[in-house]
Structure 1
Amino acid sequence: MSPTSLRRWGWIHKWSSLVCTAFMLLLCLTGLPLIYHHEIGHLLGTDVEAPAMPVDTLRGNIDAVLASAKELYPNKMAMYMSQEIDEPAIWNVTLGDHPNDEHYKPIAVDARTTEVITEPAFEGGAFMSTMFRLHVDLFAGLYGKLFLGFMGLLLIVAVVSGAVLYAPFMRKLDFGEVRHERSRVIKWLDLHNLLGIVTLVWVLVVGATGMVNTWADLLLKYWQNTEIAEMLKPYEGQPPATRLASIHEAIVRAERAEPGMKVAFVAFPGTPFTSSHHYGVYMRGEEAFSSRLYKPVLIDAATGEITDRRELPWYLTALLLSQPLHFGDYGGQPMKLLWALLDIGTIIILGSGLYLWFKRSRKARAANQSKPAAHESPALARSTESP
């Protein structure tokens, strides 16, 4: 590689890294507890657990589940019902004042007894809620997500440019060598390069999937304006449903229509994931990856009959597949441990990059200050610097 190309790649690596490093550090620090959000929630007592019962205990009537939740807030409307893949004994019911209420009330109801268990803390309590919002959108909504997506793009550029620079750098050294006999700066440079290569693939995967996740709102809006709009054409001009059919029967019909799949969540009429005429019943598989892929079944909220069902478009499939890859929460504790170790390694890379830049900048400033001014002779400059 020519010296000009090396300088160009060096410039790209330097500035793409500097611009995104502070935000990437924030994302790595907030992402670390999110990897273990279930365990932290259990430790803090914010995780909801269903009472122990025999495994073959039958599921209760889902209309009764909804009624139990609404007894707490009779003036609020149902927005969503959902079940976690690892906790089918609990229905999570969301109630609000209107279909887009951001100050909704989450209620956990036992799916077997149909009795309310608790009102869980949002996102696992104040600490986890803060970590989650900082990691997802910096408390800035869509604009925060898009900004972090751009930082993710710069991270990918920094990683690729760093790999390009690493190849000629390592021609003079053994692969992964850390020169302990040299200065502290050289040792940190070698460690920075070593960890960068070790975590290269992981950082690219997490950076790319994180960037895709920041587009979720835009992709969902596009899907609603295209495929969902097409599914709802027969209902154009009709007034919203006023009397709703049994949600229990609607879910049973969806399960019969999609054998081998389970309900992930139900969107009630008027919410963003359905229309004012339908229950949106979103089904998912039972395997590690298929449990992340939803299939919408639209059910007429007035009659309880299925009106349409289809596979998600490729871009939403890519979005949903990117989420378990980003958080590493589909492979059990070994995967979580690996993700945590790689996250810590990335924190060290980012921190050492800032340290190296600071040292080089200070050295460059010192060198510039020691240079003679253009109108001074070198001898005069040396004489003025002498004690």
Structure 2
Amino acid sequence: MSHFMRIKRDKIAKYLNYSEHVHIWCCFMIFSLSWRKIARRVHLYLGISIGALLTLIALSGSILVYYPELDGQLNKLSVQSSNTINWDEAYATLKYKYPGRLGSWRLENTATGSVIPARYYKPIETKGQAFAPLMVWLNPIGTQIIRDDFWGNYFVTWVYNLHFSLLTGSTGTLIVGYIGIGTLILILSGLWAWWPKRGYWARSLKFKARSTKLGLLYDWHKFIGLCFILPLLVLTITGIMLAIPNQTDPIITALLGKIEKPTTTVIKPKNYILLSDAIELAQKAMPSARLAWIETPSSSNAVYRFRLQTTNDPSHRFPHSYVEINANSAEIISVFNVDNKSPATKVKNWLHPLHDGTIGNHPLRVLWVLSGIANALLFSLGLYRWLLKTRRINNY
């Protein structure tokens, strides 16, 4: 054997010997740490890395639980309420005041008798932004524009963009979704790290007589986490599925079957029927449903599209049943009744009202607000304890 071959053989043997030692050392480290210790480290490092952004998302979410009411208080509109809404007058006012807006308008039926909110979804002024419609409010009888603004330019919509996309558009929405996955691991690892051994449950749930600040911080972190673990899990899982549907919808499909979606018909415009007549047709098509949204025809599509809430639909503001009416011929084009759709479709439709708390009215909404605050407290307590423990700040 040549001298060169002997050197090469010795190097390979040395490398293999070194690799074996590394492998043995890694295995030793893994098995020397209990699963509980691994969970604690995962919980700690995830909390430190995503905790600040998670707190921002959680606190903005707490604000958004009551965002329609909050916006109403911040922008008090002096109008006289009305028991009846003149939809034809409201639509005519929008076309007269905004003659260059040739696309569809979406009008909301709030049933409060105070104002009529309307949206124009693709204004030229915000072209290029992922979501920035023109928001308009009319008086109850539809004769006057009392306020208009672009989505994102006023407080509650700015907070909404912060919560859903960290103010960075579709890329931010993906980031929020993956932060949600990290949050799910964070919650479960914290639960695993705390989970008591058999016979120690009562002891593990108590505040202990501690003489150190570290111990007291741990007890409060544990107490708040256990109190809010179920709400935080629900908010996290629904938030993930709303933020990254392309990645999570296949899970629903695999478990429950196909997710069904309403059709969107396009018809060349001729002579439009009145909006009030189209509403009457839509309500005849689904007589027991509540009208929630009206989508008017555009210059390129003669279709009225109505969004309605059935008695079994959990979403009051954004329900999931639709009726399409041909604006030229006054014929019903399609009816999408969510009550008759697949289990996967129904589960998908529960995500948004469950996430924003509207499904449970005020009790659940209050709990959701407190959950966002609890999230911020958990991060603050955990971070402060870690800084004290690692002597990054003085322990006074």
TM-score bracket, normalised by the shorter chain, equals 0.7 to 0.9
Alpha-carbon offset, residue 12 of structure 1: 2.9
Counterpart of 2:190?
Answer: 162
Task: Give the % identical residues.
Answer: 19
- For residues 244-281 of structure 1, the C-alpha deviation after alignment (integer angstroms, 9 at most, x for no partner) is 3332222211011111212221234469xxx9453221
Evaluate the alpha carbon distance shift between residue 116 and residue 337 of structure 1 in structure 2; reply closer, same or farther with a 3 A threshold: same
Q: Corresponding residue for 2:323? A: 297
Q: State the distance in 2 between where 1:226 and 1:323 align.
A: 16
TM-score, length-scaled by structure 1: 0.76
- Residue 203 of structure 1: CA displacement? 0.4
Counterparts of residues 42-121 of structure 1 (less than 5 Å):
42-44=72-74, 46=75, 48=77, 50-53=79-82, 57-60=83-86, 62-87=87-112, 90-95=115-120, 97=123, 104-111=133-140, 113-121=141-149
Q: Does 1:24 align with 2:41?
A: no
Contact 1:110-1:117 at 8 Å conserved across structures: yes
Superposed, which structure 2 residues align to 1:179-328 within 5 Å?
179-215=208-244, 227-228=261-262, 232=265, 240-269=268-297, 276=301, 278-285=303-310, 289=314, 291=316, 292-312=318-338, 314-315=343-344, 317-328=346-357
**How far apart are residue 332 of structure 1 and its match?**
4.2
Q: 1:86 to 1:346 in 2, by over 3 A?
A: farther
Is the contact between residue 109 and residue 291 of structure 2 (CA under 8 Å) also seen in structure 1?
A: no
Q: Give the match for residue 152 of structure 1.
A: 180
Question: What SS does structure 2 have at the residue aligned with 1:77?
Answer: coil
Indicate conservation of the 8 Å contact 1:293/1:321, yes or no.
no
Question: What are the superposed Cα offsets for residues 205-257 of structure 1, whole Å, 9 maximum, x if unpaired?
Answer: 1111111221368999x9xx98556x75xx7xxx7335433322222110111
Tell me the CA shift for residue 343 of structure 1. Answer: 2.3
Residues 345/228 of structure 1: CA separation in 2 closer, same or farther (3 Å cut): closer
1:338 to 367, 371, 374: 367
User: Equivalents in 1 of 2:292, 2:376: separation in Å?
Assistant: 34
CA apart distance, 1:151: 0.7
**Distance in structure 1 (CA, Å) of the matches to 2:321 and 2:73:** 34
Which amino acid in 2 is paired with 1:266?
A: I
Secondary structure in 1 matching 2:195: helix
Counterpart CA distance in 1 for 2:182 and 2:247 is 20
Could you tell me how far 1:70 is from its partner in structure 2? Answer: 2.0
| 1:326-369, Cα deviation, whole Å (9 max, x unpaired) | 22234444433333223222211111122233334448xxxxxx
| Equivalent in 141, 147, 151 of residue 169 of structure 2 | 141
Which SS does the other structure have where 2:370 is aligned? helix
Offset of residue 135 of structure 1: 0.5
SS at match of 2:104: strand
Contact 2:323 2:336 in 1 (8 A): yes
Is residue 137–residue 145 contact of structure 2 (8 Å, CA) maintained in 1? yes
- Distance between the aligned counterparts of 1:103 and 1:161, measured in 2? 38
Q: Which residue of 1 aligns with 2:9?
A: none
TM-score (norm 2): 0.74
Distance in 2, matches of 1:263 and 1:131, equals: 28
Q: Deviations over 1:60-89 (max 9, x none)?
A: 2x2321111222212212523232545255
Offset, 1:144: 1.2
Which amino acid in the other structure matches residue 305 of structure 1?
E
Asked whether 1:329 is paired with 2:339, we answer no
What is the CA–CA distance in structure 2 between the aligned matches of 1:157 and 1:87, rounded to whole Å?
Answer: 42
Preserved CA contact (<8 Å) 2:59 2:376: yes
3-state SS in 1 of match to 2:106: strand
CA distance in 1, matches of 2:61, 2:308: 28
Unaligned runs of 5+ in 1: 364-387
One-letter amino acid of the counterpart of residue 364, structure 2: M
SS of match in other structure, 1:132: helix
Provide the aligned length of Structure 1 versus Structure 2: 345
Partner of 2:66: 36
Asked if 1:13 corresponds to 2:43, the answer is yes
Gap change, CA 1:78 and 1:51, over 3 Å in 2? farther
How far has the Cα of 1:316 moved from its partner? Answer: 5.2
Unaligned runs of 5+ in 2: 1-30, 254-258
Check the 8 A contact 1:50/1:117 in 2, yes or no.
no
Residues 215 and 198 of structure 1: CA distance in aligned 2, closer, same or farther (over 3 Å): same
Alignment check: 8 A CA contact 2:313 2:319 kept: no
